[in-house]
Structure 1
């Protein structure tokens, strides 16, 4: 299954990329489609639309996985210290990713891609987990949602600078509006105060946006699971040593919640979530995929009520409707 995934990604790019008719024909044959000169315009339009639809669904799955990260981290902190949780989380994810890469006999990335993989590793494998875990020692999950509320706008900005693409004015207006709604909602619920935890959160916002942008760019030239896989493996020597040191220093009190939280942030958020997220970004583009994350803070609030017994703010339904409108606008706007 994994080998097929790796093989089908170039096929998808070949179908959706503009080019002469002779390029599209082999791609269709590779997917089992009937190749002839009599294909209808409707079938061609469906073939072109399917990758974007799949990309939106994959990015949406990534958002759902990410929305569970903060509650799972809170659970994990019941059993592990902050440094132990982050180090063991990354080590477990790296071991799983390495097993997948070995099983698929995936060759090493080209030398020109290693710098980008290092940015992904520093941003989403090391930086974001460390900063958010430290923040969640004093901040609630609803307060920490300010990070993911502002992340789409920050990612779109990083992408515009990195790739040279300029989204439309409508896109930016909807993106800024959604970010303002989420930020205002979160700060209103927390009393509008900023603390040391907030500094950790804003730092996490910046490094994660950089990692998302670079990962989305790399996912256009290699399968998304290989992007996060190689980034995790790149960090393995560091995280393995950090795991051994932190576990010997910080106390460990194993509980069911703690183990479940660790497993989810390692395999659900770090590996599976980033795998589908990068595949989605490669299909629909970094700016549009990033706007799906406007729904993530509200999903996190929902999980906080269900898993952590936090009280759901009364303003949440109003914010949810407004955010969903913003998402709809950004998905329709040209980028």
Structure 2
């Protein structure tokens, strides 16, 4: 068995790839409950046969390759995805570069060259709707039919429903775009989070009594503009906080920015990478007629955020260490 969480890439020497692993295959954007069902199936298979269990995933997201000019709101970038995968108990991940060559690889060639030839897999777990290979010709049914002949165990997981609604990355994106944080959290199996380095801003927050840590999110992030109760991670430290994501209409109506006020914290954070987990939606972004009105609202926002966080004392995504 491997130790730690190993990341295998196209450039990894064959000698460094553990043979006989069980793999869970998917794009795993967000690593939501549907993905975790596939991962859990791979973990069970691996334990039953004494084999390591890996995720097989693709970067960049295939949708970005096929539609480069269409904005894509990713729930988790590559690093965040790997940290989430590392928190599931998997032994590692195989990150395959999705480029013109891989897009043109037939399903049969992918099975024989990538899965068997390079990885030497002994088992495969996939979701019911996972497709692969040129023209998406590869399907769960193809893997099931080919598995016995190739000596590979195949497990196909059905969709996961919450209140009769299928869990999917698209449904989670929609929930976040509508500010439905509880709904997104339920489908993810934990809070949605973002990571980023703290940058210098206009420093207005200091004058208002609310100095903020500012983080620029991906330009395609479609999170609803508004005020949120959040929990912040810095390494193993955790801080309760209130955050604003939006354009600051009271001041400049500029580019979207995440501004986080950490409760009961003193110190500098510039350049520090923070994890910000979204626990609850407080209100829509508003424009205020006066600074005093804004400060009164910020005081109320903080009170509401503290109460929301007190009701969710342990809420934070389970993240593992890569490498």
TM-score scaled by structure 1? 0.24
**Higher RCO by CA contacts (8 Å cutoff, separation 6 or greater):** 1
**Greater C-alpha Rg:** 2
- Bigger fraction of residues in helix: 1
- After TM superposition, the score normalised by the length of structure 2 is 0.24
Q: Relative to total residues, which structure has the larger strand share, 1 or 2? A: 2
